A and B are shown apart, each in its own frame.
Chain A
Amino acid sequence: GENVEQHPSTLSVQEGDSAVIKCTYSDSASNYFPWYKQELGKRPQLIIDIRSNVGEKKDQRIAVTLNKTAKHFSLHITETQPEDSAVYFCAADAGGTSYGKLTFGQGTILTVHP
Chain B
Amino acid sequence: GAVVSQHPSRVICKSGTSVKIECRSLDFQATTMFWYRQFPKQSLMLMATSNEGSKATYEQGVEKDKFLINHASLTLSTLTVTSAHPEDSSFYICSAPTGGGYGYTFGSGTRLTVV
Q: A residues within 8 Å of B by Cβ?
A: 32, 34, 41-44, 46, 49, 51, 89, 93, 95, 99-107
Q: How far is the CA of A43 from the CA of B109 in the complex (A)?
A: 6
> Which residues of chain B have C-beta atoms less than 8 A from A41's C-beta?
91, 109, 111
How many residue pairs between the two chains, A and B, have CB atoms under 8 Å in the bound complex? Answer: 49
With most chain B CB atoms within 10 A of its CB, the pick from A34, A43, A104 is A43
B44, B93, B95 interface centre (most CB from chain A within 10 Å)? B44
Closest to A93 in B: B102
One digit per residue, 1 when the CB lies within 8 angstroms of any chain A CB and 0 when it does not, for chain B 93-115 equals: 10111000010101111010000
- Nearest Cβ distance between residue A24 and chain B, in whole angstroms? 15
For the complex formed, measure the closest distance between the CB of B98 and the CB atoms of chain A, giving whole angstroms.
Answer: 9
- Do A104 and B108 have beta carbons less than 8 Å apart? no
Q: How far is the CB of B49 from chain A (nearest CB, A)?
A: 6
What are the 7 A-B residue pairs with the smallest beta carbon separation, nearest first? A100-B97, A43-B106, A32-B102, A104-B43, A104-B44, A106-B43, A107-B43
Task: Report chain B residues within 8 Å CB of A95.
Answer: 102
A101's partner among B43, B46, B91, B109 (CB-CB below 8 A) is: B46
Subset of 15 A-B contacts with CB under 8 Å = A41-B111, A43-B107, A44-B44, A44-B106, A95-B102, A99-B102, A100-B32, A100-B34, A100-B96, A100-B97, A101-B34, A101-B49, A102-B34, A104-B44, A107-B42
Give the distance in Å from the alpha carbon of A101 to the alpha carbon of B42 in the complex: 18
Q: Is the CB of B108 within 8 A of A42?
A: yes
- Expressed in whole angstroms, the minimum distance between the Cβ of A7 and any Cβ of chain B is 13
B26 within 8 A of A: no
- Complexed CA–CA distance, A95 and B104 (Å): 12
The answer for the CA separation of A32 and B97 in the assembled complex, in Å, is: 13
B62 within 8 A of A: no
Bound complex: CA of A102 vs CA of B106, how far in Å?
12
Contact of A43 among B46, B49, B93, B102 (CB under 8 A): B93
Cross-chain contact A43 with B43 (CB below 8 angstroms): no
Asked whether B12 is an interface residue with its Cβ less than 8 Å from the other chain, the reply is no
Q: Is residue B45 contacting chain A, with contact meaning CB distance below 8 A?
A: yes
Minimal beta-carbon separation of B103 from chain A (angstroms) = 8
